[in-house]
Amino acid sequence: MKKGFLYYYLRSMRLYYCFVTGTTVLAGVMLAHTLFCQHVWTWRDAVVLTVGFLAWGVNQIFSDWCDRHEDRINAPHRPMVSGKLSPKPALALSATLMILFAAASYFVTPWALLFLAIGGGLNLCYSKLKRVPVLNCLIYAMAITCCAFYGFAGSCGRMYSDAWKALLMLTLLILPAHFLMCSFSYYKDKEGDEKSGIRTLQTLFSDDVTLPLHWCISMVYTIGLGYFARIAKNLPLVLIFAMASVLIFNRLVYLLGKKKYHPATCWNCALCVWWICFALLPFFPRAGLFGVFAVIMIFLLFRWYPDEKE
């Protein structure tokens, strides 16, 4: 095991992304509290939120191993590609942690383990279907959205028969955020994807076509969230979230248009988390405070990654 293993393992986790899965799990937990748990926080919440915030980073080790060929072009300075992180012990640690996450989830409720398994299965499908435009982003979004079901089941300790409609509504609200995040992320990988034969909208069409399309979809999605969030009966807060969303995705599209992919990654992650918190306003008004905290933490953690090739 090489010196600095833990350091490079943590870097490979890309901790700023942990807020994407963590916030999605939190969405399920908040929905559970609103509908059934009467805002009483328990050890179950602590377990599923811990797993939710760490599972993404742990899974990144597997992702880096699977994508190592493309990463030699897209991100040659990543620890596993550069040789600073030994693959075998890193994969062994991630496998051990995932087993522990699975055991903890089962202890909370078998339902949580089921949704964790479904999310993992969809993630494997995403790796296989990465060459299919649009469908790749949809499968990815479905995989991450399973985190909301995981958080809901874990918080309740069971599944209620009358909860599926609420969960479906939550899915429809947050799935586009993950879909768009995935699609936006393909811009930085365009060069490597073209050479590897991976087909995405970004490799099939020019930026002059895809960037305006992404901007329009982002605007429609933001308006839709605002329309739904009006039931929170807090118009000033809804307007603040809507205007901030527009500012963030405008900044993201601008950076992508200028081919400044490294800072765009940070804004992309922040936008996804912000949209999820926007969707949560009717269920949990304090989601606004968490959204501000999460975005600040994402930008702070991202400062640990000044190398755009990592």
Q: Is residue 235 part of a domain?
A: yes
Q: Is residue 309 part of a domain?
A: no
Q: In this predicted structure, what is the pLDDT of residue 37?
A: 66
Q: Is residue 310 part of a domain?
A: no
220 CB contacts (<8 Å, ≥6 apart)? none
pLDDT band at 2 (very low <50, low <70, confident <90, very high): very low
pLDDT band at 179 (very low <50, low <70, confident <90, very high): very high
pLDDT band at 38 (very low <50, low <70, confident <90, very high): low
Q: Position 211: which residue type?
A: L
pLDDT band at 221 (very low <50, low <70, confident <90, very high): very high
Instruction: Tell whether the model's pLDDT for residue 155 goes beyond 50.
Output: yes
**261-280 and 18-32 helices cross at what angle (nearest 10)?**
0
Give 180-210 pLDDT, tens digit per residue: 999 999 898 887 777 777 778 888 888 999 9
* Cα–Cα nearest to 106, from 51, 168, 143: 51
* Cα–Cα nearest to 250, from 279, 228, 219, 274: 219
Q: Is residue 308 part of a domain?
A: no
- Most confidently modeled of 17-21, 131-135, 160-164, 198-202? 17-21
Q: Please report, rounded to a whole number, the percentage of residues in the chain having pLDDT higher than 90.
A: 51
Give the helix ranges, DSSP H, for the chain. Answer: 5-13, 18-32, 43-66, 68-74, 79-82, 87-108, 110-128, 135-156, 164-185, 190-196, 201-204, 207-229, 235-257, 261-280, 287-302
Vertex 47, ends 41 and 52: CA angle to 5°?
A: 110
Q: Is residue 16 part of a domain?
A: yes
Q: In this predicted structure, what is the pLDDT of residue 39?
A: 65
- Most confidently modeled of 35-49, 127-141, 182-196, 235-249? 235-249
What domain count does the chain have? 1
Question: 276 lies in which domain range?
Answer: 5-302
Is residue 267 within 8 A of residue 3, CB to CB? The reply is no
